[in-house]
Structure 1
Amino acid sequence: MADQSPPAAATAVFAGADTAPAARTTLQAMLAQVAGPFVADATLLLDELLTDASRDGAVCRDLRLGVLAGPARLRIEVTRTEPARPVTGPSSPERGWGRLLLEDLASDWSSDTDGALATTWVELRLPG
């Protein structure tokens, strides 16, 4: 499972198939006092994690958004259920784009697997 992070100052948890619209709205509300470019980067990472959670037959189970203290940062965590047999198809150059986004935009990130559950999280240091 995901690493043990400090308690969140603000947390939102989503479950179900179509969490993206509500998660985007909540993320923007959580970051209402933060500069637009940071919010755009955070939204892009959120979308990437949700896309990854539904790729190759996986199912998004849980999405958590949190603003953590000490130092102040945003944490996005997505847990998915991996399929018994992944759906495979032709590989495309876009497949590596998500990892490049994580490497470029996130302050820290990781992915952990526990049986059929896989969790990927990203953190971004809040400006200021």
Structure 2
Amino acid sequence: MTQPHLADETRPRTPTHHLTLRFSSTRRGARLARQLAVQQLTEWTGLPYDSDPARTVALVTAELASNAVRHGSLPGRDFRLTLLHLPQTFRIEVTDTRPERPAPPVTPQPADESSGRGLILVQAYTDRWGCTSNDGYTKTVWAEVPLRTTRS
């Protein structure tokens, strides 16, 4: 079930595991964040790399991290990735240095547009997602990937 776009929420439930790291606001930083997220998911849950949740974590982390690099960075400022293993979900949080909220996903996208579909994918593949801003300097875009798998 997807919550309304950009619902504010405090961090839910107590995580089984959590990890927070900073990455450079570059394409390389976004790629490393994606790789780390999948690695942590598989390590914490025992799910294989080719499971549906692992693929979804890769897609969602790639989108949130690339948005932080492309739209949310200021020169010389990193973005922060926080991963939380919750009872039924894997929560991905990306905090960047621009407090402006992302624009709502627009559907349908014009066929000739080469970008702008990322948050639509995040909305489609996650149970819930949103954006929080706890200060005037940063924002955190978060998404929760269900841990149930349909593959055997």
Give the alignment's TM-score, normalised by structure 2: 0.66
Matches within 5 A, 1:15-94: 15-17=22-24, 18=29, 20-21=31-32, 24-32=35-43, 33-34=46-47, 36-56=51-71, 58=73, 59-69=77-87, 72-82=88-98, 93-94=113-114
Work out the number of aligned pairs and report it.
119
Structure 1, unpaired ranges of 5+:
85-91
Runs of 4+ deviating beyond 6 Å: none
Q: Percent identity?
A: 24
Partner-residue secondary structure (3-state), 2:13? coil
- Secondary structure of the 1:82 match is coil
Structure 2 unaligned segments of length 5 or more: list them: 1-7, 101-111
Q: CA RMSD in A?
A: 2.6
- TM-score normalised by length of structure 1: 0.77
* Residue equivalent to 1:13: 20
Q: Deviations over 1:17-52 (max 9, x none)?
A: 126426523533432522522211111100000001
- Aligned partners of 1:53 and 1:97: how far apart in 2? 15
**Of Structure 1 and Structure 2, which has the larger fraction of its residues in strand?**
1
